[in-house]
Chains A and B, each alone.
Chain A
Amino acid sequence: MRTLAIVLGGVGAGGLAAVLAFASPSPQAQQSQAPADSITAPVISDTGSLKGPRQPIFFRHDIHAGQFKIQCQYCHYSVDVSPEPGIPTMQTCMGCHLVVAGSDSSSRTEIRKLRELWTEMKPVEWIRVHFLPRHAHFPHQRHIKALGPTACATCHGDVSRMPQVFKVNQVDNMGFCITCHVERGVSRDCSVCHY
């Protein structure tokens, strides 16, 4: 009976989590209504309700990529030439934020954090959201070439609408990769990725 209780408890917790997921307004639900060319990043009053891991600096992709329409590759500079997408250097952030100090108190607070780290010559230690196991090799550049302008969103979701990045797809699950490869009729050979 004790085993059963634990199992039930587990199911309860899982169920609760699922309910919470539906209760909170989903950014994905909002984005389908707004026209693609005019995104206004919402004011976030409760960051605790956002999906995805909380980052050391509340960097908002929805402001940078959405509202200001900065190209993904402006910051993720090596994504079309390298297997690695390239995490923007602190210098890249400061290129703008030397001047841009923020329009409201919450963004000013976050930009101040960035500037302080820059003054101390310390990097931001971002929490990684998407990662693959070491025995899988994912060449970003090939996928950018093959999938064209919408390539990033295919796996990462519409980041331009995310105040805080979360995992939309189980990119670390081989099934996710294979589904796409089958649909597009590209290689499913193990050693294409595993070596």
Chain B
Amino acid sequence: MSDDLQPPTVDRRRFLTVLGTAAGGGAMALSGCSTDRVQKLVPYLVQSEDQVPGVATWYASTCTECPAGCGVHVRTREGRAVKLEGNPDHPVNQGKLCSRGQAALQGLYNPGRIKAPMARAADGGFLEITWDDAIARLAGKLGEAGNRVAVISGAPRGTFSDLLAEWTSAMGGRLVRYESFDHEPVRAANRQVFGLDQLPAHDFGKARYIISFGADFLESWGSPIENQRGFARSHGFSGGDVAKFVYAAPRRDLTGLNADEWVSLKPGSEAALALAMANVLVADRGDDRVGLASALGSFTPAMAAEETGLEVETIERLAREFGAARPSLAVAGGVGSQHAAAAEVCAAVNVLNFVAGNIGETVRFGSALPAADGHTELAKLAQAMDGGELAVVLVHDANPAYTLPKSSGFAARFAKVGFKVSTSMYLDETAALCDLLLPQHHALERWDDVRPRAGVHGLMQPVMEPVFNTLPAGEILLRVSRKAAGALARFAAPTWDQHLKTRWQALAGELGERDAAAFWHAALQRGGVYRDPPPPQEVTLTLPEGRLSYTSPTFEGAGSFTFLTYPHPMLHDGRGANKPWLMENADPVTKITWHSWVEVSPATARTLDLRDGEIVELTSPYGTVEAPVYVYPGIRDDAVAIPLGFGHTAYGTFAQGRGVNALDLLGAPRGDFVPYLSTRVSVRKTGGYRKLASVAGVPRQLGRGIAEGISLAAAKKGLTVEQAYLEEGHGRHEINTALELEAIRGWSEEQQRATEHGDYTRELPQWGMAIDLAKCTGCSACVTACYAENNIPTVGESEVLRGREMTWLRIERYWEDPEEPGAPPSARFIPMLCQHCGNAPCEPVCPVYAAYHTADGLNGQVYNRCVGTRYCANNCPYKVRYFNWYKYNEQAWPEPLHLQLNPDVTVRARGVMEKCTFCIQRIRDTQHHARLEDRPIRDGEFTTACAQACPSDAIVFGNVKDGAGRVARLKQDPRGYHVLEDLNVRPAITYLAKVLLPAEA
């Protein structure tokens, strides 16, 4: 072949270059001929005053996920809410927010929301109708019904509850308000012994000794964030003594795992222990106020020992410890005080607090607020339904078809009502039975207010346009009133917003504010009005007939195990089950996600030959459920437990058909609460098995020193963890021997050289973190915050089973075996996230430099470079790198859930490794601000999402180089240590060892 016949030498690279040049020259229209997808820029029609594209706008509002009424700040971007954080001004939560509160966002964008008003069609399904039609239908039915009307609602909150009450009574109807975990036994006890129909405020921060009789105050009971803040103050270590915390209950929940001592007493015998403790104190002190000595005379430690199964010495010791600490605090609650003799437990604890002198100190009365009506009223209403006395029933903010045991027959009775209406946002079990669905606005879409306690008026404002065709519940009531006229005609406010504002004008007057408009604006800015709580009310103890009573617990059923159930820390009474964050954020105690389990003690498991995941059948007189076993060392041998919150038959795809409903084993409410502690069950092995969808790793530390502890005595002396070990007589563990150091020296130098590229020689901050394990309770609020901030996908049950959960930040729970054999293990919690190692093992193994070290001390992960070899994850000693195995980014956020995504963080695609970034988007954003103002970043100017959320303030983030900063100071703490320090990877996270109290102090 001659030369002139040779084809021109065009290789692939050259060909692409030519094409590139041509396109770059601009001859080919970008959109016309290019294969790039055409992107549109769609401007606003009218500029919103408070929105700047690319800049977050924050609104103050109030959380309604539980009755605690925490203040929130809602971060919105381009007109949609993307994150919830605590409002630092709010007296209840002071800037912190729990998992459930943060997950309100997934309630707002829930795919299971009812998108428009609907009516029952002839074929049994629901048909979308217009609001005018829907209002007319309800008004018509109310007109026919006369006073045969009832409303079932959640606990009263604020102005809306007042309107609802007035509205119902104007028709002559009946209103029943209830909560699943009612405080009615506490109120009953307060009426009995103090003559006050109130719930007192508890000050955990002031207490120097805390004993909880089954009250899960860190998860559900009372105001969990406020309790946890107080608990961190009294139980966290700051140089001096630490308040001891004793948990007396048949099962340790998350609160119980944070106790220094677990007193495992027989189910239902809490009152005996409390009374015997009071007896010991009264006898010791010769205290005979109001005839206490004689009233308590029969409750000797010996009697209590018989009832509770404890040693007499233990009871006497607890009593004297409790009496010696001033002030101390005893609380009763949770399902431990939701049984036939519940009021006795609460009365006994009242007496104990009174004897110890805690009333007015850590237990303060004086803030009476409207209470729920309780289950007695609900049962009466159900009877009225059964008798056909009711023509119209409206259900608002309640789901009785799920939260009442099936044995109460609510669904069948509800079905006898002629016309059933629900204002639920979701098609829950009760709404599914209704004839008319009037979906209300989500809390983030409407004006409203909440009065969580005296002096606190939380305001809610719409932070965005409604996602769906819904209305505020108040607006529904007002529109119906206008249509129905008659008795309802007096509700004349043109709109719900107007009604609320009128009420706040009145409030301004009540609070002595002259300028109502200024008052309103200030409230709007701060998220409400916060006045000091009223001074504690003087109370006197009166014993009815000079006596105190105690009833030995009795249980229905012939089974050999007492059945315990408790609110799931994430799902509460089941209302959280439609939010994937809460389903995938594991139960902090068992680390199980997405499904139910049965807790049995190790001894029971041996007796019945049960292992984790084996399916057992539990039978009570009321029903049978099947669930897999979880062998749990924190439960008595004579009891088994199932968490509440699962087993929904409706309520959206995330909730429906997952796990079992523990209420199926319980009887109908008797008295003012659901008798959560009332049955015995038999346990039968079915032979079935299902792997637990658990995110737990190895259950014990195996001497690796991951979650370190130090005795209180050593901590007070200012010893380091290593010094404390040496003092205890442990041998010295040689780390970083000369050879090891030599081996990594060259590598360290190479790393240092690599950081000298570009601009790296400038003086830059070094980001670091300190985590105080003495404060961390394992509540997992940080985990949810991380999911929300960083667009972490939830992968679902089947992927969790394969170990593919994406929790950048996880809470590890390790069991610590006690020194004396037979005693139950204690637990240590440790938040585990990328340690941003100075000598990171993940970095040198990445073939494409996707994992690398930044000049400001971060372990960077560049998604667009990552090719997914996963070498980095294999080489990470902390196992904090997570790989996108599937298109989680396309599956985790079904519409409209994708609207929650944080626009500042890349949504990672399949095949990419990802991990904690120390919230680099927040670092960069703060740097931008500082640079625009020509100033350095200030300490505490911003923090990571996890540190922001932490109710205990256990996590602190900042610039290590800033000597005056909080992180730099905490890193100097003698309790500080690095996890797996001997690997010499130089983590940027310093943990502060947990301070351990001796069980018998």
Q: Which residues of A come within 8 Å of B, CB atoms? A: 4, 7-8, 10-11, 13-15, 17-18, 20-22, 24, 51-54, 78, 81-84, 86-92, 118, 121-129, 131, 133-137, 139-142, 145, 166-168, 170, 181-182, 185-192, 194-195
Contact = CB atoms under 8 A, between A and B. Distances in A.
Nearest to A189: B854
B43 A82 contact: no
A121 to B, nearest CB: 6
B858 interface: yes
A195 B859 CA distance: 12
Contacts of B46: 89-91
Given A135-B906, A145-B931, A18 B22 contact: yes
A190 B40 contact: no
Interface stretch (B29-37, B592-600, B718-726, B801-809): B29-37
Contact of B53 (A84, A145, A168): A84
Nearest to A51: B26
Given A18-B27, A91-B46, 15 more contacts: A10-B19, A11-B18, A15-B22, A20-B27, A53-B38, A84-B55, A89-B43, A90-B43, A126-B41, A128-B39, A137-B921, A142-B931, A145-B932, A166-B30, A190-B862
Interface in B7-61: 7-8, 10, 15, 18-19, 21-32, 38-47, 52-55
Given A90-B44, A128-B39, A185-B759, A142 B928 contact: yes
B40 A82 contact: no
A4 B10 CA distance: 9
Nearest to B11: A7
Given A14-B21, A135-B864, A195 B43 contact: no
Nearest to A75: B43
Nearest to B757: A188
A84 B78 CA distance: 11
A42 to B, nearest CB: 18
16 contacts: A11-B18, A21-B22, A52-B30, A53-B31, A54-B31, A78-B52, A84-B52, A87-B41, A123-B44, A133-B864, A134-B906, A145-B932, A166-B26, A187-B758, A188-B758, A194-B864
A91 to B, nearest CB: 5
B873 to A, nearest CB: 19
B732 interface: no
Given A78-B53, A78-B54, A126-B41, A17 B28 contact: yes
A20 B23 CA distance: 11
Given A78-B53, A166-B30, A127 B759 contact: no
Contact of A192 (B19, B43, B54, B924): B924
B852 A195 contact: no
B41 A195 contact: no
A142 B932 contact: yes
A133 B907 CA distance: 12
Of the listed residues B18, B45, B931, the one surrounded by the most CB atoms of chain A closer than 10 A to its CB is B45
Interface size class of B (residues with CB under 8 A): 35 or more
A53 B855 contact: no
B910 to A, nearest CB: 14
B7 A4 contact: yes
A7 B45 CA distance: 48
A13 B39 CA distance: 25
> Chain B interface mostly helix, strand, loop or mixed?
loop
Contacts of A52: 26, 29-30
Interface of B: 7-8, 10, 15, 18-19, 21-32, 38-47, 52-55, 757-760, 852, 854-855, 858, 860, 862-865, 904-907, 917, 920-921, 924, 928, 931-932
Nearest to B38: A127
B41 A128 contact: yes
Closest 10 CB pairs of A and B: A84-B54, A21-B27, A188-B758, A82-B54, A53-B31, A21-B25, A128-B39, A187-B759, A191-B860, A84-B53
A55 B27 CA distance: 17
Contacts of B47: 89, 91-92
B42 A125 contact: yes
Nearest to B34: A53
Contact of B25 (A4, A17, A89): A17
Contacts of A78: 52-55
A131 B45 contact: no
A170 to B, nearest CB: 6
A83 B54 contact: yes
A194 B813 CA distance: 33
B863 to A, nearest CB: 5
Contacts of A166: 26, 30
Nearest to B52: A78
Nearest to A144: B932
A18 B906 CA distance: 36
A131 B854 CA distance: 26
A20 B54 CA distance: 39
A36 to B, nearest CB: 23
Contact of A90 (B32, B45, B52): B45
A84 B28 CA distance: 27
Contacts of A127: 31, 38-41
Given A11-B10, A135-B863, A54 B928 contact: no
Contacts of A15: 18, 22
B90 to A, nearest CB: 29
A17 B32 CA distance: 13
Contacts of B924: 137, 139, 192, 195
A142 B757 CA distance: 22
Contacts of A84: 52-55
Contacts of B44: 89-91, 123
A167 B917 CA distance: 33
A14 to B, nearest CB: 4
B977 to A, nearest CB: 28
Contacts of B23: 17
Contacts of B864: 133, 135-136, 194
Of the listed residues A140, A168, A191, the one surrounded by the most CB atoms of chain B closer than 10 A to its CB is A191
A191 B759 contact: no
Contacts of B41: 87, 125-128
Nearest to A182: B758
Contacts of B25: 17-18, 21-22
B889 to A, nearest CB: 11
A142 B760 CA distance: 19
A170 B32 CA distance: 17
B904 A137 contact: yes
Of the listed residues A7, A17, A166, A167, the one surrounded by the most CB atoms of chain B closer than 10 A to its CB is A17
Contacts of A139: 924, 928
Contact of B26 (A4, A167, A191): A167
Contacts of A11: 8, 10, 15, 18
Contact of A189 (B29, B32, B760): B760
B877 to A, nearest CB: 22
B759 A189 contact: yes
Contacts of A137: 904, 921, 924
Contacts of A82: 52-55
Contact of A14 (B22, B906, B920): B22
Nearest to A178: B758
Contacts of A14: 18-19, 21-22
Contact of A7 (B10, B21, B28): B10
Contacts of A189: 758-760, 854-855, 860
Contacts of B38: 53, 127-128
B536 to A, nearest CB: 49
Contacts of A135: 863-864, 906
B45 A91 contact: yes
Contacts of A182: 758
Given A127-B40, A186-B759, A86 B18 contact: no
A181 B757 CA distance: 12
Given A21-B22, A53-B29, A127-B38, A121 B45 contact: yes
Nearest to A48: B29
Contacts of A128: 38-41
A142 B926 CA distance: 12
